[in-house]
Amino acid sequence: MVSSVLPRALLLGALLLGAGFAAACSRSTTDRLDLPPLQTVAFVEVSRYLGTWYEIASFPQRFQEGCTATTATYSLLDNGDIDVLNRCRRNSLDGEETVARGVARVVDSATNARLKVSFFRPFWGAYWIIDLGPDYEYAVVGHPGRDYLWILSRTPSMDAAVYEGILQRLQAAHYDVQRLQRTLQP
C-alpha cells in the first residue's frame, strides 16, 4: 500500500523550512570546522545520471527516519528540470511504502554537478554530486555544508572495495564517515 504523497511532501517541506531557519541561526559543519569548500565532480552527463539509484548509506536525517529499501528515481521533464521520486519502506523491507516527489534543477551548467532540489517549493536545498563511478555505477551526493550525505548505487548492494574507496575519498574531503548509516536493501 502506498501512503499519500501530500503528507510526506508537507513533512519534508516543514523539515526543509526548519532546516533553513536552523541554518540561518547555526553554522554548517564546513563553517564550524573552517573546512575548505566542498568540491564536486568535474562533469555529470545528466542523461546517464537519470534512472533509479539505491541508497547504500547516508547521514541520518529526521525525514528519513525508519526508511529501508530507499531509492531515488530521476527522469527528465519537458522543461529540462528533473523529476525526483524518492521511495522507502517504513521500518522493514516489507513495511508500508512512503513516496516523496520533488524536482531538481542544474544550477551549474559548466559541470552539471551542482543541483538544487525541492520537495516543497519555494524551498530548495543544495544537491551536489561529489563522487561518481566511471560508468555511473555509483554516485555520492553531498551538501556544501557537509551536513548531508548519500552514497548511491545502481544496484541494491555495493562491492566492499568500492565502498571502502568511497569512504577514503570522503575522509579526504573532510566528511565524518563515522556518521554514515548503512541502508537496508533487499
Instruction: With respect to residue 161, please indicate whether it lies within any of the assigned structural domains.
Output: yes
Please give the pLDDT value at position 26. 64
Instruction: With respect to residue 111, please indicate whether it lies within any of the assigned structural domains.
Output: yes
Instruction: With respect to residue 32, please indicate whether it lies within any of the assigned structural domains.
Output: no
pLDDT at 61 over 60: yes
Provide the percentage of residues in the chain whose pLDDT is more than 90: 75
* H or E stretch at 24: helix 5-25
Please give the pLDDT value at position 159. 97
Q: Give me the domain span that covers residue 74.
A: 5-26+41-182
Cβ atoms of residues 38 and 165 within 8 Å: no
Give 101's contacts (C-beta < 8 A, 6+ positions apart). 5, 9, 83, 84, 85, 86, 119
* H or E stretch at 127: strand 123-132
Cβ atoms of residues 17 and 125 within 8 Å: no
* H or E stretch at 30: helix 29-32
Strands 67-76 and 181-182, bridge-based pairing: unpaired
DSSP 2: B
Instruction: With respect to residue 125, please indicate whether it lies within any of the assigned structural domains.
Output: yes
51: left (phi over 0), alpha (psi -120 to 50) or beta: left
Our count of domains for the chain comes to 1
Instruction: With respect to residue 34, please indicate whether it lies within any of the assigned structural domains.
Output: no
Q: Which residue has the cell 521500518?
A: 91
Name the more confident of 184 and 61.
184
DSSP secondary structure, 130-159, as one string: EEE-TTSSEEEEE-TTS--EEEEESSSS--
Instruction: With respect to residue 35, please indicate whether it lies within any of the assigned structural domains.
Output: no
**CA 86 – CA 159 distance, rounded (Å):** 23
21, three cell numbers: 531557519
Tens-digit pLDDT profile for residues 152-175:
999 999 999 999 999 999 999 999
Instruction: With respect to residue 33, please indicate whether it lies within any of the assigned structural domains.
Output: no
Tens-digit pLDDT profile for residues 91-142:
999 999 999 999 999 999 999 999 999 998 889 999 999 999 999 999 999 9
Instruction: With respect to residue 47, please indicate whether it lies within any of the assigned structural domains.
Output: yes
Three-state DSSP class for residue 174: coil
**Of the given ranges (11-15, 65-69, 151-155), which has the lowest mean pLDDT?**
11-15
- Side-chain-facing half-sphere of 21: CA atoms under 13 Å: 6
CATH number of the domain within which 116 lies:
2.40.128.20
